[in-house]
Amino acid sequence: MGLFRRGPEVPDQVGAVVSGRALAACESGDGTWLVVTRDAWWAVSTDGAAESLPWERIHRADWDQDSSTLRVERVEEYGAPVQPRSFTLDQPGALLDVVRERVTASVLLQRRVELTRKRGFTLIARRPPSGAGVVTWAYEMDPGVDLDDPAVGAAAEQALLEAQESLGM
């Protein structure tokens, strides 16, 4: 064993399209390779097509142990339907831990705003885990909360101003 770890082994055709050093990788049931790097999550299909998502663009990554399924949801524009990607992983190895760490590292601030009893939204500030790059802001609305409602819009704007101020922006 050498002094420096090289990362997981991935097929040459996968390594050729992934930018950055692989921190963890595994092959899904359909032959898609999932590779995580410091800056992004990658899915490389058997035909070589690659999809990359920076960590700050991943809204949620959930693991269902019963079905051995990883479900990845990207951050979408307000009102756009969520289009999750699901992958069956027989041997995820370190992939799940690294995905959790990287997604968590991209969250700079998360603030809950209650509008009425048990109804509101969460304001989320994200940035690349490296700390470089711009901060992006998103709202996660509870079911039935409409950002187009003037009262909700005003509360969202106020929450954003307060959050930016608390971060010195």
Strands (DSSP E) contained in the chain are 24-27, 33-36, 40-44, 50-54, 58-64, 69-74, 85-88, 107-116, 119-126, 136-141
| Beta carbons of 127 and 56 less than 8 angstroms apart | yes
- C-alpha closest to that of 76 among 115, 31, 34, 124: 124
Cβ neighbors of 68 (< 8 A, separation 6 or more) are 88, 89, 90, 92
Instruction: Give 32-89 pLDDT, tens digit per residue.
Output: 999 999 999 999 999 989 999 999 999 889 999 999 999 999 887 766 777 899 999 9
Q: What is the pLDDT of residue 108?
A: 92
Note the pTM of the prediction, 2 decimals: 0.81
Whole-number pLDDT of residue 7? 64
Give just the sign of the alpha carbon dihedral 157, 75, 113, 120: positive
Q: Give the residue-averaged pLDDT of 133-142.
A: 88
Helix (H) or strand (E) holding 166: helix 150-166
- Pick from 74-88, 99-113, 128-142: least confident: 74-88
Q: What value does the mean pLDDT of the chain take?
A: 89
What ranges in 34-136 are assigned the alpha helix state H? Answer: 95-105
Q: What is the DSSP letter of 31?
A: S
In words, the CATH class of domain 12-105 is mainly beta
What's residue 1's pLDDT? 43
Domain ranges of the chain: 12-105, 107-166
Per DSSP, helices labelled H in 20-119 are 95-105
pLDDT (0 to 100) of residue 42? 96
Model confidence at 156, pLDDT cuts 50, 70, 90, reads very high
Sign of CA pseudo-dihedral 160, 130, 65, 52 = positive
1-30 pLDDT, tens digit per residue, is 444 455 678 888 898 999 999 999 999 999
Give the dihedral sign, CA 135/154/113/142: negative
**pLDDT exceeds 90 at position 94:** yes
**DSSP secondary structure of 42-55:** EEE-TTS-EEEEEG
